[in-house]
């Protein structure tokens, strides 16, 4: 028990030190990072301004953004420390099954975040500014803008886990691949609802996220494993199940 606690303590300390180091480096470069994030707003409306209604926001917002970026950049290190802590207690076949899930999940998370920043966010900004009357000057609050970016990127990162969730559901035999095929209309409705929850209240950003969710569901079905009972039966008969 003492060895277990000591090992856990060591992994946590390493993770915290790494996070603080990345946070410090990120904070140094936060101004050009933030300038890049507000570029779609200025690009779509040259008269647009970024304002703040609180003096503390000038400190809180950069630190909040730096912390968020630091968490994302530190995830590979966190996952590595978690794996080094957990893997000795696992059987060989369990390690072989779980290790790829870590890599796939992280890859999907980063892909979702990049999709939100490079596709969803610019489209949403352009759509929202396009609705403003000609005589209205856009003045975006820095806190609200950051919340929009963080919420959208985090929501997309979680939504992009759909193929992995689909694979696990079929692998654990909670549902079969055929049953999920029949549930496709409900999945489309679920994708639209999830898009409404994870994005700002405008139809463009909701559809922009709902369509990839549906596509990722279909992608997950494509790579779903075959039922294990069919595989075992095929192996016992000396046949290959395709």
Per-residue pLDDT tens digits for 56-115:
888 898 999 999 999 999 999 998 898 888 888 878 888 888 888 888 999 999 999 999
CA distance 237 to 171: 22
Q: Is the pLDDT of residue 198 over 50?
A: yes
> What's the pLDDT score for residue 144?
86
Q: At residue 149, does pLDDT exceed 80? A: yes
**Alpha-carbon distance 216 to 36, whole Å?**
28
Average pLDDT of every residue of the chain: 82
Looking at residue 240, what is its pLDDT?
A: 44
Residue where the block lists tokens 């802590």:
85
Contact between 74 and 18 (Cβ < 8 Å) = yes
Mean pLDDT, rounded, for 10-19:
94
Most distant CA pair in the chain, distance: 76
């Amino acid at each position: 028990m003492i060895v277990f606690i000591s090992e856990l303590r060591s992994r946590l300390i390493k993770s915290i030190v790494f996070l603080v180091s990345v946070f410090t480096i990120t904070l140094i470069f936060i101004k050009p990072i933030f300038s890049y994030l507000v570029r779609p707003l200025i690009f779509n409306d040259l008269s647009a301004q970024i304002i703040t209604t609180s003096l503390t926001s000038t400190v809180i917002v950069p630190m909040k953004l730096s912390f968020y970026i630091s968490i994302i950049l530190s995830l590979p290190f966190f996952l590595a420390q978690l794996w080094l802590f957990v893997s000795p207690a696992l059987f060989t076949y369990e390690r072989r099954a779980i290790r790829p899930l870590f890599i796939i999940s992280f890859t999907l998370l980063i892909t979702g975040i990049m999709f939100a920043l490079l596709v969803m966010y610019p489209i949403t900004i352009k759509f929202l500014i396009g609705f403003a009357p000609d005589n209205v000057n856009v003045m975006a609050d820095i806190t609200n803008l950051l919340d929009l970016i963080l919420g959208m990127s985090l929501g997309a990162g979680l939504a992009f886990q759909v193929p992995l969730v689909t694979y696990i559901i079929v692998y654990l035999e909670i549902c079969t691949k055929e049953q999920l095929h029949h549930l496709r209309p409900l999945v489309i409705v679920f994708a639209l609802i999830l898009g409404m929850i994870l994005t700002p209240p405008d139809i463009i950003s909701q559809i922009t996220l709902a369509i990839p969710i549906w596509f990722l569901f279909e992608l997950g079905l494509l790579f779903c494993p075959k039922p294990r009972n069919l595989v075992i039966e095929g192996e016992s008969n000396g046949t290959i199940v395709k």
